Each structure stands twice: as structure tokens, then as C-alpha cells.
Amino acid sequence: MMSSKSFLILMMAGLLLGMASLPAIAQENPVPTLIPPTLAPTADAAGISDALLAESTTARIQREGKVRVGLLYNLPPFGELNIRGQVAGFDADLARSLVETWGLTFEPVQVTRQMALDALRNGDVDMVVAAQVHRRELDGMVEFSQTYYPTAQAMAVRADDGAVSLAAMVGRRIGVVLGYPGEQAVAVWRQRAGLMVTVIPYLTLDRAVTALLTGEVDGVVENRVQLTRVILDLSLVRLLDEPVSPEPYAVVVPRQDVNFRNLVNRTLQYLKKTGRLNEIHQTYFEGANYPENALPLWANVGDEAPTPALFGGDVPYPPQYVVPRLQSARVVRVAGAAELQPDAPESEKRLDALNRALVEAMAARWGVSVEFIPNSAGNAADLVAAGQADLAVGVPLDWALADRVDLTGFYLLHGERLMVEQNAPYETFNSLRGRWVGIFASEPGAADRVNALAQTVNSSVRIFTILREQDAAFNMLVEENADVVFGDSLKLIPHLEANPGLLRITTRGEAPDPWYSRTYRALAVPRNDLDFRLLVDYTLQELAYDGVWRGLMSPVMLPEDIPALEIWPGPSSYLGFNLDEALAG
């Protein structure tokens, strides 16, 4: 009779032979590491002090001249220990670039998924750059930067499978890796979407993918990057475009350390603006460019490298937090709504209608009423900074405001575009030599901007000034004073709707970005009132998840231009507010 040990050996040998017969699967070989990947936390998270910070991390790193960065050493392409004994990867190079931009010494510290956040809260590291997903349930312990790498939990299916959306997977078998984020992502997806699927767990990702290729399961859910690394022959599988769950990677910093968080965010944007972030991305992702729509650049990010000395070493706490007042007074005070005359331009009417509708939709989910502060459009952020308003609408993402208020994620994108006749051969300034370009008199500096854009392609144009915004289409189609109109997209879209089939906004052909400039509008909230900022961001994201936000955008953005609003995975309730359903009435 065969012993249990012999049977186990034969079973393992058969498994290895089976795996070897599938060359499309990359074996998950151990990655060199200095400490066990499952290292236990150095301290019980419940025992870590939540006392208010006495100083910002910016003060300490300047004093000591170094930055200790928590990194993963065993998760390529983000972080791994190379043969020279150095940590390399997208995260490692990004962290090194951040610290070198600050003129300080980079000190890598290995962390694991299990203890990375505790290492930060214990003070063992100053920040964590370790493919850390910004999950809502973690926001009570730490704070996150802007997303620097947008990825997702994706569904892989066989290439000959007819599924094109997640809904097509209803009633089918889905493989996940036991204890991996994909398992949690499927559980949340099933709960939110109300779909029934059969979940089959596996011990490793390569085993789950083997099960997919052999027909044991119909789909496998795991991080998009890791799936493409394990599946060597991508002709055998497809990744559905619709994500199972977003996975936004962000830098982790101490909670309510607003000055250090601003230093990190501004430096991330600086690295994108200078091209360094694109260089790092090309190095670790086969020459692919960094996603154009990732990491929005704020106004006034500057041409000079940000340094800790430009940011305060203190930790300014708000004199009064908004959430307790919301819970007691049941009213949110809003600055920035306009008081327009009946003959105001259509673009201003639409923008104001959007701002008011957005706030009303958010307040409905909080169960509070809205008090719009009159005559506040010109000083909205100042009113928030002074404590006279809880939030301000229509505020541009601008570093000039960062020392007075905090800004949420953006809810509106607009900027300079080119409007032409539907069948006109114009797409960019390359084809406008000698043509008349209409500009709006209400946009100072537009003529200089148009001439500068023409000069970049060794061209020259003639300028026609449109005195009234509502006359733009008439000047083009009837009076023929302008061949094209260059201006803010908010002003152009009403003309497209009023003249269907006659006008269009160009996409700039092969240009990577259809916009000549981008302005992001967000909500301003009191500085370092983190809980209220999170409540506002979560609510914006829930509106996007439900489809409400996209409907609000339709009067001010073309359908094809509406970006996918970033959503952080996690619960849809926060501090007693249920955000996933608008209250009746």
C-alpha cells in the first residue's frame, strides 16, 4: 500500500508536470527578500497611539537629512531586491526620485503588506511607497497622497469566451487566490451588484490561471498588472475592460500631516510635469508611457523643485470640525454659487446649475439641507478658510490655495479646445496657416496663447475677437468672420448643441491629449479637517458609482470627454452617513 508521504510526492510531481505543459503560465518563483513576506506587525495596531502629531514629518526629515521609505522587496515590477543587493522597481525609483528632489538622503526600509502601515504609525518609516491600495477602511489610521498609479482588479477570461462585461459572468465559476485582494474584490462586487457567481479559491495565481485555461473556471480575478505578468501568452486570454474593483496606488503618510502630504503631492506632480514619472514608467512597463489622465496637475505646480523648506513644519488643526456640526445642525454652508442675471452667458448658467445640483445631491445623502452663502462666488475659498462656510464649489485645483484650504478630488474638467465646422479639414494648428481663429473677448491673453500655439508648428494665423459668447457659431457659420473658434470648452459646448451636425470640437488627431489646456474644479474644505474631506470625496465617488455624477456632467462636458472619476474601494457608509442611496424627497 502506498504511504501518505509517497502519495503526496506523486501528487506534487503530477502538478508540476501539468504546470510545465502550460508554457503560457509564468511560474511564481520566489523573489529575493531580506525578511519573510509574512512578517508579523511590530506592534498591535490597536495599541498604537492616536495622539495628535506634535510636528510635521517635513520638520523631522529636514532636521535629520534623510527620509526612511517603506518599500516592498518582493513584488516586481514595483519593488524587488536585485542581484546587486539594491531595491529596484517602479515604487523604489519613484520614492528615490521624491527624496532626491527634496535634496535629502534616501533610506529604503523593507516592509510587508502585513506590517507596512504599522511601521509608519510606529515611526519606523516616514512614508510608505509599496503598491499600497487606497482603501477607505484604512483612512482612519493613515493618510494617502494622490493616486500615482491607477490599476484595478480585473477579470481574465479565455480568448474565445464571449463575455464582454462583468454582467456576462453571472452564474459562472470565478477563480481567486486565497487571501489575495482579488478574493475581497469579488466579494464586494457580488454584494454591490447583487450578482450570483461561484467563487473557487486557489493557493497561487498561476494555479488559478491554469484552471482558467483548462476550463475548470470561467474567469480569474486579480490585479491587472500581476495577471499580465503571469500569463505570458496573452493571445490565450482577454482581460475585460470593466474593472471588478479599482486599485489606486498612493503614497502613505501620517494621518493629518497636511504639510507633508502636500509636499508629497506637489512633488509627484512635479515629477510628472518634468517627465521623470514617465521615464520610470517606461523603464518598468516595457516602454509604455505613463497614463495621460493619471495624476492631474494643479495650477501653479511650478517649474522649481518642491522642497520641505517650502512647507511648514507644524501641524495646523482646524479650530472646529465640520462633521460634528453637520450632525447637530443638519445644514451645510456652501460658498461659491453664482447669482447670475437672466442675460448671463449660457456657459455660466450651466456651470452654476452644475455646482448647485452637485451640492444638493451630496447633501441629500447626508440628510442635511443646503445654505448657499450669497455674494460668495468671488471669495469662496476665503470663506471656507475663515470658518464662515463648510465647503466651496467650483474651486480650481491650485497650489496657491494649499496653505489656506484643502481641495477634494476634481469633479469637473474643462479647458481650451478648438471648434470647427463638421466637415472642415482642420484638426490642429498645423492646418490653420493663414486662417482666422476666433477668440472670446472674455478670455484675457487668448490672442497670445493662439499665436504661441501656431508658432510651435511654425505657422501663423489671424485673430478675430468675438465680443459676445453667444455669437461664436454665428460668426463662423453665417458671417464667416472666423474659420475656427478657440476657447474654453464650457463656452463651446452650447454652440454644438444649438447647431447639431454643423460643428464639432477637434480631438487633435494623433496628439496624446485632445486638450490644449486643462482646468480641474474641485470642492474646497477646511484645511486639515480630514474626516470632512473624506466624507466629501466618498460622496463624490458614490455619485459617480451610481451614475448620478455623469448625468450632472452632460450639460458641461461632451460624453466622450467625461473622465472616469477615481473611486477608492471600501464601505459606502462613513461616520454614520449612508452614501450609497439618496434619501427620499
Residue 253's alpha-carbon distances to 116, 149, 210, 311, 459, in angstroms, are 11, 16, 39, 15, 48
Helices vs. strands in the chain: H and E counts, helices first = 17, 25
**What is the model's pLDDT at position 24?**
59
Q: Cell for 128?
A: 510608505
**What is the model's pLDDT at position 2?**
42
Using an 8 Å Cβ cutoff, are 513 and 292 in contact?
yes
**What is the model's pLDDT at position 411?**
97
DSSP 309-334: GGS-SS-PPPSS-HHHHHHHH-EEEE
**What is the model's pLDDT at position 48?**
39
Residue 452 corresponds to which amino acid? A
19/216 Cα distance (integer angstroms):
14
561/81 Cα distance (integer angstroms):
41
523/139 Cα distance (integer angstroms):
19
Closest CA to 514 of 241, 292, 298: 292
Residue 536's alpha-carbon distances to 134, 394, 405, 510, 522, in angstroms, are 16, 14, 14, 37, 10
**What is the model's pLDDT at position 12?**
41
**What is the model's pLDDT at position 581?**
66
Q: Kind of pairing, strands 436-440 and 462-466?
A: parallel
DSSP H or E segment with residue 259: helix 258-274
Q: Kind of pairing, strands 105-110 and 66-71?
A: parallel
Domains contained in the chain, CATH given = 55-148+248-310 (3.40.190.10), 150-246 (3.40.190.10), 322-411+519-578 (3.40.190.10), 416-505 (3.40.190.10)
211/364 Cα distance (integer angstroms):
46
DSSP H or E segment with residue 504: strand 503-505
**What is the model's pLDDT at position 204?**
94
- At residue 377, the 3 state secondary structure works out as coil
306/104 Cα distance (integer angstroms):
12
pLDDT for 481-507, tens place per residue?
A: 999 999 999 999 999 999 999 999 999
Rg (C-alpha) for the chain, rounded Å, is: 26
pLDDT for 97-123, tens place per residue?
A: 999 999 999 999 999 989 999 999 999
Buried b (16+ CB within 10 A) or exposed e, 17-48: eeeeebeebeeeeeeebeeeeebebeeeeeeb
User: Strands, DSSP E only, in 279-435?
Assistant: 331-335, 369-372, 391-396, 405-407, 412-414, 416-421
Using an 8 Å Cβ cutoff, are 268 and 248 in contact?
no
145/105 Cα distance (integer angstroms):
21
Closest CA to 390 of 359, 429, 345: 359
109/123 Cα distance (integer angstroms):
12
78/74 Cα distance (integer angstroms):
9
Low-confidence ranges of the chain (pLDDT < 70): 1-51, 581-585
**What is the model's pLDDT at position 511?**
79
* CB atoms closer than 10 angstroms to residue 137: 10
How buried is 122 (Cβ within 10 angstroms: 0-12 exposed, 13-18 middle, 19+ buried)? middle
**What is the model's pLDDT at position 390?**
98
Residue 340's alpha-carbon distances to 347, 351, 352, in angstroms, are 11, 11, 9
Q: Cell for 174?
A: 470565478
**What is the model's pLDDT at position 583?**
42
496/501 Cα distance (integer angstroms):
8
Residue 352's alpha-carbon distances to 390, 533, 582, in angstroms, are 18, 22, 22
**What is the model's pLDDT at position 192?**
79
Q: Cell for 79?
A: 519593488
Provide φ and ψ at 359, rounded to 5°. -65, -40
The number of CA neighbours under 13 Å toward the Cβ of 8 is 3
pLDDT for 263-315, tens place per residue?
A: 999 999 999 999 999 999 999 999 999 998 899 999 999 999 999 999 999 99
- At residue 422, the 3 state secondary structure works out as coil
Prediction pTM value: 0.89
DSSP H or E segment with residue 539: helix 530-546
